[in-house]
Structure 1
Amino acid sequence: MTVRVMFVAPAIGDGLRAARFGDDGPPEEAASAAARAAAGALPTPARSLASPSVRCHRTAEALGLPAEPDRRLAELDVGSWRGRTLDEVAAAEPAAVAAWLADPAAAPHGGESVLDLLARVGARLDELAGEAGRLAVVAEPAVVRAAVVHALGLPPAVFWRLDVRPLSVTELSGRAGRWNLRCGWDLAPAAAGS
């Protein structure tokens, strides 16, 4: 029994564009329009899930996916950094940011470490491996990166080296604990989501 999990990165919003930690804002209108235009571009899934953020929920709606919210696929919890931009935190806490980016076990913000995120998303991906058919998962870029790192057994430090563009699809297919990766393909024109 093979499962295909199509991870869809959400349409871009102001917070994502500004690299604002933990931003739960909606997608920009142009990005939402691009998602609506891409409705039907995905192969029809047997089931759809979404990270619980507003951005992911609205992207799923725009794509015509009746996605169930799944807290296990939530964005990385950045604790005290939530609502601040990377530039703001780097200016105020340069050593903390450097440690966080260099050590997957570090959580100077008091939230989750990258290792914690990898474990949480990896456990959920392992559960999804027991299903058959296609699944669509609208998930924050960090969740998509964590799923790829887990599925391919990559070193945790690779997490920061993966780029997930808005409205791109990263597909993992597998059975019996073995995953294959189909690298990201765009649902919408690059100009709408960049």
Structure 2
Amino acid sequence: MTTRVFFVAAAMGASLRQARFDDGRSIGNGGAAQARSAAGTLPSAARVLVPPSVRCRETAAALGLDAAVATQLAGLDVGRWRGRTLDEVGTAEPEAVSRWLADPESAPHGGESVRDLCGRVAGWLTAVAGTDGRTLAVVEPEIVRAAVVHALDMPVTAFWRLDVAPLTATELSGRAGRWNVRLGHPLARPDAG
């Protein structure tokens, strides 16, 4: 049996524009409008999931999705950096940021390391493998990165080299522990231009 997992990256909001670590802010009117314009473009799914973050829940709602909360798909826990911008943290703690970006085992913020995040997402993908029907999940970009790293058996050091744009879809399909990846296509209606 082929397993299909369809990840949708959450809509743009002020926090993402500012390169701010998740602070619980809304996607705002602009992000919601973009998501609403993509409503109806997603494939049907047996399961629709969303992590507890405001951005993901609001994106799912704007896409017209009735999603169940899946805490395993929560974004990277950045501990005491939550709510701060990357520039703010980089100015205050340049060595810590450099270490964090270079070493997937590092967690100078007191939260979760990139390696731990990748392991958590890999565990979730292993659990969902073999389920009937498509799983659709509206998630933070780092969850998509971690899923692709696992699916393609990439080194965890590749994590930061994967760009995930807002309101794009990445599809994983596979069986017997082997995944194929269709990367980052935008959500848009065929007649949208």
- State whether TM-score is above 0.5: yes
Count of residues paired in the alignment: 189
- Find the aligned partners of 2:188 and 2:94 in 1 and give their Cα distance: 36
Unaligned regions of 5+ residues in structure 2, if any? none
Which residue is equivalent to 1:74? 74
> Which residue of the partner structure matches residue 23 of structure 1?
23
Q: 2:51 aligned with 1:32, yes or no?
A: no
Partner of 1:192: none
Q: Which residue of 2 aligns with 1:183?
A: 183
Distance in structure 2 (CA, Å) of the matches to 1:28 and 1:166: 14
Give me the whole-angstrom Cα distance separating, in 2, the residues matched to 1:180 and 1:118. Answer: 17
CA distance in structure 1 between the aligned counterparts of 2:10 and 2:163, rounded to whole angstroms? 13
> Normalising by structure 1, what TM-score?
0.95
Residue 37 of structure 1, CA deviation: 1.4
Matches within 5 A, 1:23-172: 23-172=23-172
Rounded Cα–Cα distance in structure 1 between residues aligned with 2:129 and 2:88: 39
Structure 2 counterpart of 1:86, one-letter code: L
Q: Deviation at 1:111?
A: 0.5
* Corresponding letter in the other structure for 2:148: V
Q: Is the 8 A contact 2:13 2:30 kept in 1?
A: no
Residues 161-187 of structure 1 deviation map (CA, whole Å, 9 limit, x = unaligned): 000000000000011111000011001
The DSSP-based 3-state class of the residue aligned with 1:6 is strand
Q: Secondary structure of 1:132's partner?
A: coil
Write the distance in 1 (CA, Å) between the matches of 2:111 and 2:134: 32
* TM superposition score normalised by structure 2: 0.95
Residue identity over aligned pairs, in percent, reads 61
Q: CA deviation at 1:23?
A: 2.1
Deviations 1:54-92 (A, max 9, x none): 110111111111111111100100011111100000000
Aligned partners of 1:40, 1:86: CA distance in 2, in Å? 34
Which residue identity is paired with 2:182? R
Gaps of 5+ in 1: 190-194
**4+ residue runs over 3 A deviation:** none
